[in-house]
Amino acid sequence: MPALQDRLIAQVAERAAGRDVFLVGVTGAVAVGKSTLARAIAEGLKARGLAAQAVPTDGFLRPNKDLEAAGLSARKGFPETFDVAAFHGFLDRLASGRAARMPVYSHVSYDIVPGETHTVAGKGVVIVEGVNVLQTPQARERFGLRLYVDAEPEHIKAWYLTRLDGIIANEPDSLIARIPDAAYRNTLVEAAWAGINLVNLRDHIAPTMAHADVVVRKAADHSLVELAAR
């Protein structure tokens, strides 16, 4: 295991010691590797004999029909496209040691799955990852450790494009894969990166770095190169 990742896992384990439930928040840009890092921390904690789980916040995105009705479809992932009250309630239940239910998001349909929920146990280490994790004071105060995953924008864009290529190759029923014209599809992807993801990063995600306890910096190959305590 890489030394910096091992150090990070050790830090989480140390802070969680003696607690019935300990919440870790992980945020950063779309495609920066939040979920991969969250899973790695959870697996590392389990290897130490600790209960741990990683939970994405995609399920708190408002359904597409609601976004369309509000004229927010082109801002999906921005703060106003999340059900903030539901997210706060979810964190409150977990922080108090109670199980909490959350909606399920599909990356094939790019929408909330109607009627489907996932229950998260309010015990052990719960690693909550998403672009919105540190955007409100109410959310921030629930986390015993707050992490921001940082990388150069050009590297993040490359990872974003690689992720979409994987979806196109492996999820033929996904919305992006169902666009037959590759040139048109690439135009849409470039527009989505420049007009949505990059703007969201600049205006809403990157500013939350100021609220992180540790900034996890990554190189072009996704390796961790620095843990900067704040």
Angle subtended by helix axes 182-192 and 153-170, to nearest 10: 140
Q: What is the mean pLDDT of residues 103-108?
A: 93
pLDDT tens-place string over residues 13-32: 999 999 999 999 999 999 99
* pLDDT surpasses 80 at 1: no
Show me where the domains of the chain are located.
3-223
Alpha helices in the chain (DSSP H): 3-16, 34-47, 64-69, 84-95, 137-140, 153-170, 182-192, 198-200
DSSP 88-129: HHHHHHHHTT--EEEEEEETTTTEEEEEEEEEE-SSEEEEEE
Residue 114: partners with Cβ closer than 8 Å, 6 or more residues away: 63
Backbone angles phi, psi at 194, to 5 degrees: -70, -40
| Predicted local confidence at residue 106, as pLDDT | 93
> Cβ(41)–Cβ(49) under 8 Å?
no
Q: Which two tokens stand for residue 5?
A: 């990742």
The secondary element (H helix, E strand) that includes residue 131 is none
Burial class (CB in 10 A: 0-12, 13-18, 19+), 89: middle
**Chain segment 133-180, per-residue pLDDT in tens:** 999 999 999 999 999 999 999 999 999 999 999 999 999 988 899 998
User: 3-223: which CATH architecture?
Assistant: 3-Layer(aba) Sandwich (3.40)
Task: Report pLDDT for 218.
Answer: 97
